[in-house]
């Protein structure tokens, strides 16, 4: 057996003995084991193939240095094969935090509202931000809140109806006067924070009472005693779909979709969970996410 063959045999035997010892320990139990695995891989991938060159270099280093023949690739570095380096460079993905997801959704939704409803961008951003705050406070999907606002007032805080409904969510101020006390009284009915917060409280109560989106919206529009809501829930839920599309980043597509006649299905999945803040935020994170303009209803919102 030549010296080169002996060198290779000893090299591989040493590498496999290290691997065999590592098998007896839990994988990556500690830095010592990880380093052993790394060293074994280096030996197998690098030193074994360099046996003949190493022997030559030891016997005549000057000849090897002066040789003008083709240069071999340098051996793999231990650091490049280390577990921590691999995890840091190859496994880590740019996952978004909850705050980043919310910021992105708010920015996209505000842009859609501003451009589709021709609302000042700063005003749209304030409304959207408050919808997310109130939605989180009461566990209501903020896009559902914004859809109700779109259907009730077209994002006009000063909107009012002949039956006494006022503000963004067209709340009957006199009926719910107690709810406005913490905001300074009925004079706050046209303010963004008070209007959205009180409207969300009422919507949440109807969601709990009826156990469904359609049922809650039917109560909200004042059609609880009627056989139908006149298409109100379909308008609201259709707009929520447009807002979802916009919030996911597809603002232009949402604007086109919103200008087309509503195609929201009548047999959509219903239930209280589909109106919660948590469920819809989780959906937005999972997706990485991604109607005709209506004015405030003059004869609706009888209960709100």
Mean pLDDT check: name the lowest of 44-53, 80-89, 163-172.
80-89
User: Is 50 exceeded by the pLDDT of residue 148?
Assistant: yes
At 116, is the pLDDT very low, low, confident or very high (cuts 50, 70, 90)?
very high
289, 245 contact by CB (below 8 A): no
Residue 31 has pLDDT above 60, yes or no: no
Residue 293 has pLDDT above 80, yes or no: no
pLDDT, residue 289, reads: 46
Q: State pLDDT tens for residues 49-72.
A: 444 444 444 444 444 445 555 566
What are the start-end ranges of the H helices in 50-191? 51-59, 61-66, 83-86, 98-116, 121-138, 142-153
What the block records as the tokens of 119 is 């609302």
| Per-residue pLDDT at 286 exceeds 80 | no
Q: Is residue 232 classed exposed, middle or buried when 0-12, 13-18 and 19+ CB atoms within 10 A define those classes? A: buried
The three-class DSSP label of residue 165 is strand
When pLDDT is averaged across residues 155-181 and rounded to a whole number, the result is 90
Q: Alpha-carbon distance 242 to 255, whole Å?
A: 8
pLDDT of 46 > 90? The answer is no
* 225-243 confidence digits (pLDDT tens): 888 888 898 899 999 999 9
Closest CA to 277 of 87, 122, 100, 133: 133
Range picked from 10-14, 165-169, 211-215, 287-291 for highest mean pLDDT:
165-169
**Across 8-21, average pLDDT:** 54
> Higher-confidence residue: 218 or 97?
218
pLDDT score recorded for residue 113: 97
pLDDT at 156 over 90: yes
Return the bridge partners of 171, or none.
Answer: 166
pLDDT score recorded for residue 24: 52
CB neighbourhood size of 98 (10 A): 11
pLDDT of residue 287: 66
What integer best gives the mean pLDDT of the chain? 74
What is the mean pLDDT of the segment spanning 145-170? 92
String of DSSP letters for the chain:
--HHHHHHHHHHHHHHHHHHHHHTS-TT-SHHHHHHHHHHHHIIIIIGGGHHHHHHHHH-HHHHHH--SPPPPPPPPTGGG-HHHHIIIII---PPPHHHHHHHHHHHHHHHHHHHTT--HHHHHHHHHHHHHHHHHHT--HHHHHHHHHHHHTT-TT-B-TTSEETTTTEETTTTGGGGGGGTSGGGGGSHHHHHHHHHHHHHHHHHHHSSHHHHHHHHTT-TTSS--TTHHHHHHHHHHHHHHHHTT-HHHHHHHHHSPP---TT---SGGGG-HHHHHHHHHHH-------PPPSS--S--
- Is 153's pLDDT higher than 70? yes
- Model pLDDT, residue 274: 65
Residue 207 has pLDDT above 60, yes or no: yes
Count Cβ atoms below 10 Å from residue 258 Cβ, excluding itself.
Answer: 22
Q: What 3-state DSSP class applies to 171?
A: strand
Least confident of 25-34, 192-201, 261-270: 25-34
Give the residue among 178, 228, 182, 176 at the shortest CA–CA distance from 199.
176
Q: Which pLDDT band, with edges at 50, 70 and 90, does 96 fall under?
A: confident
35 has pLDDT over 50:
yes
| Helix, strand or coil, per DSSP, at residue 43 | helix
> What is the CA angle 271-277-278, rounded to 5?
95
Average pLDDT over residues 159-172: 89
Whether the full predicted model's pTM is greater than 0.85, yes or no, is no
């Amino acid at each position: 057996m030549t010296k080169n063959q002996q060198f290779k045999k000893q090299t591989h035997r040493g590498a496999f003995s290290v691997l065999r010892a590592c098998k007896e320990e839990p994988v990556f139990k500690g830095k010592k084991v990880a380093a052993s695995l790394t060293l074994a891989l280096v030996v197998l991938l690098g030193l074994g193939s360099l046996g003949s060159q190493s022997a030559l270099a030891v016997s005549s280093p000057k000849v090897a240095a002066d040789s003008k023949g083709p240069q071999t690739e340098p051996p793999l570095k231990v650091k490049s094969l280390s577990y921590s380096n691999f995890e840091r460079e190859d496994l880590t993905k740019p996952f978004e935090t909850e705050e980043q997801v919310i910021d992105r959704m708010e920015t996209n939704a505000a842009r859609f509202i501003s451009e589709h409803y021709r609302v000042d961008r700063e005003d749209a951003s304030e409304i959207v931000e408050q919808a997310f705050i109130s939605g989180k406070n009461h566990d209501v999907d903020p896009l559902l809140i914004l859809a109700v606002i779109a259907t009730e007032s077209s994002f006009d805080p000063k909107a009012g109806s002949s039956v006494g409904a006022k503000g963004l969510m067209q709340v009957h101020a006199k009926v719910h006067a107690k709810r406005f006390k913490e905001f300074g009284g009925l004079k706050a009915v046209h303010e963004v924070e008070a209007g959205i917060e009180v409207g969300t409280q009422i919507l949440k109560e109807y969601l709990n009472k009826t156990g469904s989106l359609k049922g809650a919206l039917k109560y909200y529009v004042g059609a609880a005693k009627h056989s139908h809501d006149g298409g109100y829930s379909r308008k609201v839920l259709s707009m929520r779909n447009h807002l979802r599309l916009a919030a996911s980043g597809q603002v232009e597509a949402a604007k086109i979709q919103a200008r087309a006649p509503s195609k929201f299905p009548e047999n959509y999945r219903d239930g209280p969970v589909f109106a919660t803040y948590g469920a819809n935020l989780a959906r937005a994170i999972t997706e990485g996410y991604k109607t005709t303009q209506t004015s405030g209803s003059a004869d609706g919102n009888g209960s709100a």
